[in-house]
Chain A
């Protein structure tokens, strides 16, 4: 029992769970949604990466745990193939997930966090997200298979038929309202809304957390300064969402579930929504304790936990550690490498437009292409910064304290 708990505690550290989640996501997209076929090159990539983890795991324990879990999940997914979308598999996943949650509730530390009244809806959200993701992908998979065989998506078989709003639609709505009302009443009777001591501006709780739907942003503060995590990136999320219909010119897949016809759109959106946004919220809610330190799900939130501060800036890594020189005084020179890195990153779209992305560039036209790729680059800056932090303890790529400009 303690071993399993320890195993899961280690696994849930952001660096480990993020790699696991990303790989599982990629595997499902490449394998299970494509009827169990994988190009040998990509399949080899998955196996090679797993092998790398195991080898590295011989020296670093958490990576061994990661490698083992990685292969275990890939094995099950590969074995299931298209059957991942069967009702039976779905039911099993629900039972296993629910069982895991129920068993975990027996653990005192887990219970303390998961049963906090304000956290209950988020636990429910995890299940709902999982359930609806599965439902949507299952429908997409079934439609794709039908269309491959020369058929039509199931929505098409019904979309020309019209029903009277009364009774067909009105009754469904009525039923939904009744069920919702009952759920809301039971929930409200069973669980009291939290109320802590009266506000006291002089004594701040530890940890002080934003409302749960903003915890993804608060979690981003670990990797970015507030001006990026709290202002620029949220703004770009909203702008990006609004831009979606104008960037995406693919006319197919309008009004029915499908994956094959919209691989790129779905891949990017699901990655942003599930692997980044939801993952950060869940981490920020359940796994961040006092001083915003990381705590595994079965760990006690010890306010005295000490975590060494070992993060360093890129300028220090290059000037001091690699070149053995003191940091230059002038920030333009000191931050030279970081600035080149960032400009190079932002210069990718025009380069890619003449290179590998030429097809997209020609199909989309310059405005759509540039808006789309820049938004995508900003989204990907988060996982890139996360991985750099985990690999090199990198704090800032560019650190210009003089004008509060830190990236």
Chain B
């Protein structure tokens, strides 16, 4: 034990450690403050927090879980991108290879289960926020940021669902995107769309309606795959990451985790 202590002190006081973390072991209040303030990641937190807000029984740790799962998805997703090509010739065989050839290949599993878990975690987080009345002033705006994050989480999951390009994928996306056909005024089978005419010519048809814009064609095909890939790997994660930054910032600016006044 004594030896371990000595080793710990040796490490913490070494030049390498100090160059990275500045403070040594945070064993005084001063050092605890500095440990949080001095770190880009930790200073997302305030230096001090309400005791009631730290309790797992209050927050269920679901916001943190959502964020952690988002990070898991980012890392595993990045690894999957090394193997995967978003074209209809390669997509399915690439996933097949990943499944059969990659040693210790659990990245695809982790990515898929992480995605399911993230949807559930975000719902439970919203549920907790509602049950504690934490959307009430001054946190109305942050609740709204949260709702957009929820939508982005679902879209992330939805766009990712297509990428394996198997039967499960294309038919789920077919069912999901068929609904866009019925958009009032903007889908070719939507109410009122038939009224939008130039002379006798319908302006809204299967070749230019809301569904066409979503999947880039009259049916799920190569351009859908590419479109969903770009949305899934670039556009939505960037938007979600940006909104998360705002979300966390606002949690602090609105007075930290909520508690009774």
Contacts and interface: CB of A to CB of B under 8 A. Distances in A.
Interface string B57-89: 110110011001100100000000000000010
A204 B171 contact: yes
Interface of A: 118, 121-122, 124-125, 128-129, 132-133, 135-136, 139-140, 152-170, 172-173, 176-177, 180, 184-185, 187-189, 191-201, 203-205, 208-214, 217-218, 225-227, 229-232, 238, 241-242, 244-246, 248, 250-258, 262, 266, 269, 273, 403-406
B65 to A, nearest CB: 6
Q: Enumerate the 4 nearest inter-chain pairs by beta-carbon distance, A residue then B residue, closest first.
A: A230-B179, A245-B140, A159-B259, A226-B182
Contact of B259 (A118, A203, A255): A255
Interface stretch (B1-9, B153-161, B232-240, B243-251): B153-161
Given A158-B51, A197-B166, A231-B184, A124 B120 contact: yes
Contacts of A217: 179
Contact of B195 (A197, A218, A245, A403): A403
7 contacts: A118-B168, A135-B57, A136-B131, A162-B51, A205-B167, A217-B179, A262-B133
Contact of A172 (B52, B61, B128, B136): B61
A191 B116 CA distance: 13
Interface of B: 26, 29, 32-33, 35-36, 42, 45-58, 60-61, 64-65, 68-69, 72, 88, 92, 95-96, 99, 106, 108-114, 116-117, 119-120, 124, 126-128, 130-137, 139-140, 143-144, 147, 150-151, 154, 157-158, 161, 164-172, 174-176, 178-184, 187, 189-195, 219-221, 258-261
Given A184-B113, A404-B182, 7 more contacts: A152-B260, A153-B260, A176-B65, A176-B68, A187-B109, A201-B170, A227-B191
Contacts of B136: 245, 248, 250-251, 253-254
B127 A163 contact: no
A193 B112 contact: yes
A199 B58 contact: no
Chain A interface SS verdict (over half): helix
Contact of A227 (B47, B124, B190, B261): B190
B133 A254 contact: yes
Contact of B47 (A118, A156, A165, A194): A165
B15 to A, nearest CB: 23
A168 B195 CA distance: 63
A197 B193 contact: no
